[in-house]
Amino acid sequence: MTTHLVWFRADLRLHDNLALAAACRDTQATVLALFIATPEQWKQHHMSPRQASLIQFSLNELQQKLAEKGIPLLVREVADFAASVDELKNVCAEHQVSQLFYNYQYEINERQRDALMEKTLKGVVCQGFDDSVMLAPGSVMTGDRQMYKVFTPFKNAYLKRLKEGLPECVRAPSVREKVSSPVEQAIKLSYPQTPFDPALFPADEKSAIAQLRHFCQQRAAEYEAKRDFPAIEGTSRLSACLTVGLLSPRQCLHRLLAECPEALEGGAGAVWLNELIWREFYRHLMTFYPKLCRFKPFIAWTDKVQWQSDPEKLAAWQQGKTGYPIVDAAMRQLNETGWMHNRLRMIVASFLVKDLLIDWREGERYFMSQLIDGDLAANNGGWQWAASTGTDAAPYFRIFNPTTQGEKFDKEGDFIRQWLPELKAISGKAIHTPWQWADKEGRTLDYPRPIVDHKQARLETLAAYEAARKA
């Protein structure tokens, strides 16, 4: 009897799952699936309780859908990655597994775990797949086989590769001839969980595919014009689905091209494709520069910036009480829903680093602890971009003005009013400078005055970066 085991990690779906499809190719084999929760490891990685909740929900769905195909999903819980390899070994021995199928993860701890796994599992053939990317890391390189450090040439080379041949999607498995007995237990992970709003984030594969279809049909062509305005539904909100693997990026690519066939040539939908390529860029970079997983900046001199340790200001930023309405509304959106609009992520990150001069790693960690879509590569990439410590990042002297950013991207203040009810009384543009409004009207607001003066903070930050550059 041949038994194949699929180890599910961040790929909680049946459609276009390369490891699952490969495991099912031999119709005579018995196929088992496994998920190993590692709460201690997740805690070290600052995984958010909302993401844990999404994983639990998705796992229950996955278990049911796999059972319909005759594939039982076993769920185990151990402390950390090292223990997960021991657990995997036990499962392989218990079920006489001959072949193990899994999709690669590119973060350093995950890669070390997989290296240990391959060493430990003697007698089991292990096969890994580049499933969470459209093109595998290492397949888009410069002429002298180096990883691109700048996005635009990477994107151009990437598009060229895509035009030469699109990565195909694989089908969901058919019902197995050899059906294993299903596992009938509701999955309950011990990791702390915070419920998420399923109206905001699809939590099962079917809804994720439906949302992708809807977005590509209705909104992808207008994405370029609408994506920067947090008060409107201009983006896909599919990031959490991509992070836990309810969707693959190949599915996104194919659905986009079905609705916007000119996207590869720079036509409608091209800007959304661009974002999917940013996601790939950060994953490829992380594979080539493991220091990015170790809290190291890409640009070495930026590690000499003298950050300020100010727990009160950090807490004000975290709680959305800085006195700058666009920053505070964004942080409340994050804290209450587990998601934040991309434009706002850039604004609040710039504010923490360049107005408060607080170490970007504090922000990176806090985001991971709150985001439902928390993803090491994208989060680290975003923070290093905003802090000007990353490759192809914003130059250090580019410092967003939080007031004008609000005026530009939430002109009427609709987004701010949604998240800061204490400012509802202020009509029009005055909402962006509530302290001036209060002074003028002689009113007292239940809202803080700015915790820093932007102009002054900007000068101090420029001086701190200059000093680090010359050190």
Ligand X SMILES: Cc1cc2nc3c(=O)[nH]c(=O)nc-3n(C[C@H](O)[C@H](O)[C@H](O)COP(=O)(O)OP(=O)(O)OC[C@H]3O[C@@H](n4cnc5c(N)ncnc54)[C@H](O)[C@@H]3O)c2cc1C
DSSP for 425-461, please give it: T--GGGGG-HHHHHHHHT---SSPPPSS-HHHHHHHH
DSSP for 100-157, please give it: EEEE---SHHHHHHHHHHHHH-TT-EEEEE--SSSS-TTSS--TTS---SSHHHHHHH
CB of 180 closer than 8 Å to CB of 67: no
Binding mask 195-234 toward ligand X (x if CB under 6 A, else -) reads: --------------------------------x-------
Using CB positions, name the residue nearest to ligand X. Answer: 382
Find the distance separating the first CA and the last CA of the chain, reported in whole Å. Answer: 66
Q: Residue 219 contacts by C-beta under 8 Å, 6 or more apart in sequence?
A: 226, 233, 234, 236
Complex with ligand X: residue 85 or 256, whichever CB lies closer? 256
Per-residue H/E/C for 15-44: CCCHHHHHHHCCCCCEEEEEEEECHHHHHH
Residue among 465, 344, 345, 299 at smallest CA distance from 396? 465
Provide, rounded to whole angstroms, the least separation between the CB of residue 382 and ligand X. Answer: 2
DSSP for 130-142, please give it: --SSSS-TTSS--
Provide, rounded to whole angstroms, the least separation between the CB of residue 94 and ligand X. Answer: 36
Complex with ligand X: residue 91 or 238, whichever CB lies closer? 238
Choose the catalytic residue: 274, 335, 342, 401: 342
Among 109, 287, 379, 461, binds ligand X (CB under 6 A): 379
250 binds ligand X (CB under 6 A): no
Residue among 268, 256, 297, 261 at smallest CA distance from 385? 297
Catalytic site includes residue 17: no
346 binds ligand X (CB under 6 A): yes
Q: Which residue has the tokens 């602890």?
A: 369
Choose the catalytic residue: 40, 278, 401, 435: 278
Of 133-141, 146-154, 290-298, 377-385, the window that binds ligand X (rule: CB under 6 A) is 377-385
Q: How many residues does the chain have?
A: 471
Among 73, 349, 372, 451, binds ligand X (CB under 6 A): 349
Choose the catalytic residue: 87, 222, 301, 307: 307
CB of 24 closer than 8 Å to CB of 173: yes
Catalytic site includes residue 168: no
Provide, rounded to whole angstroms, the least separation between the CB of residue 377 and ligand X. Answer: 7
151 binds ligand X (CB under 6 A): no
Catalytic site includes residue 360: yes
Catalytic site includes residue 307: yes
Binding mask 252-291 toward ligand X (x if CB under 6 A, else -) reads: -----------------------xx-xx--x---------
Catalytic residues: 275, 278, 307, 342, 360, 383
The site for ligand X (CB under 6 A) is made up of 227, 235-239, 242-243, 275-276, 278-279, 282, 342, 345-346, 349, 367, 371, 373-375, 378-379, 381-383, 386
